[in-house]
């Protein structure tokens, strides 16, 4: 009798020792289980490289020349969108309609500038004082994309030499493409 009791205890010990510990909550039906998929999103960082200067040179002959390497680059976690572009005059200069200012006849020394930008085949032109024709949310820059930014300006010939005088500022408003 004593041997039977010991044998039974040993059998039970062996049974519990070899069983896998399964939580009752993970079983929904005989032989089935669920595995939760938990998402942790770390703070998403919008990383962008933007030009802080769009320089213009007017030559001795009144020809306007601009840089050809400006771009906006998205290094962030996902696509971004330019939701607004504002072009404003600065330091006593006024923006005017890009298509109306004629360098050949404009009064010499006038502080007016017409400005145009081209991003992803979207052409943005100044249309008057601090106004332009940009329509909101039109330009998306995908993750890793570098979007070339070309620009041009028209302005009257100037009598006085200038070096690095800011005549306008371009303000980009950027956000996620959500």
Could you list the residues that contact other proteins (CB under 8 A)? 43-57, 59-61, 65-70, 75-76, 83-84, 166, 169, 171-176
Cβ closer to other proteins: 33 or 78?
A: 78
CB of 43 to other proteins, least distance (A): 5
CB of 45 to other proteins, least distance (A): 5
CB of 123 to other proteins, least distance (A): 20
Q: Are 176 and 127 in contact (CB under 8 A)?
A: no
Cβ closer to other proteins: 60 or 161?
A: 60
Cβ closer to other proteins: 55 or 128?
A: 55
Q: What is the SS3 assignment for 100?
A: coil
Cβ closer to other proteins: 14 or 40?
A: 40
* Number of neighbours of residue 100 by Cβ within 10 angstroms: 13
CB of 16 to other proteins, least distance (A): 47
Residue-wise DSSP of 110-178: --EEEEEEEETTEEEEEEETTEE---TT-EEE-TT-EEEEEEEEE----SS--SS---EEEEEEEEE--
Q: Are 73 and 48 in contact (CB under 8 A)?
A: yes
């Amino acid at each position: 009798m004593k041997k039977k009791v010991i044998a039974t205890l040993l059998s039970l010990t062996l049974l519990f020792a070899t069983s896998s510990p399964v939580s009752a909550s993970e079983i929904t039906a005989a032989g089935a289980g669920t595995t939760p998929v938990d998402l942790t999103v770390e703070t998403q960082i919008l990383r962008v490289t933007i030009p802080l200067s769009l320089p213009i040179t007017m030559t001795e002959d009144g020809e306007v020349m601009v840089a050809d390497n400006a771009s906006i680059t998205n290094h962030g976690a996902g696509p971004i969108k330019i939701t607004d572009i504002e072009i404003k005059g600065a330091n006593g200069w006024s923006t005017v309609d890009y298509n109306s200012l004629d360098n050949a006849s404009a009064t010499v020394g006038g502080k007016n500038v017409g400005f145009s930008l081209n991003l992803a085949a979207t052409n943005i032109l100044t249309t008057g004082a601090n106004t332009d024709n940009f329509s909101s949310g039109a330009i998306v820059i995908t993750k890793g994309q570098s979007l070339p930014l070309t620009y041009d300006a028209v302005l009257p010939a100037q009598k006085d030499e200038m070096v690095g005088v800011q005549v306008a500022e371009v303000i980009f408003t950027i956000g996620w493409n959500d």
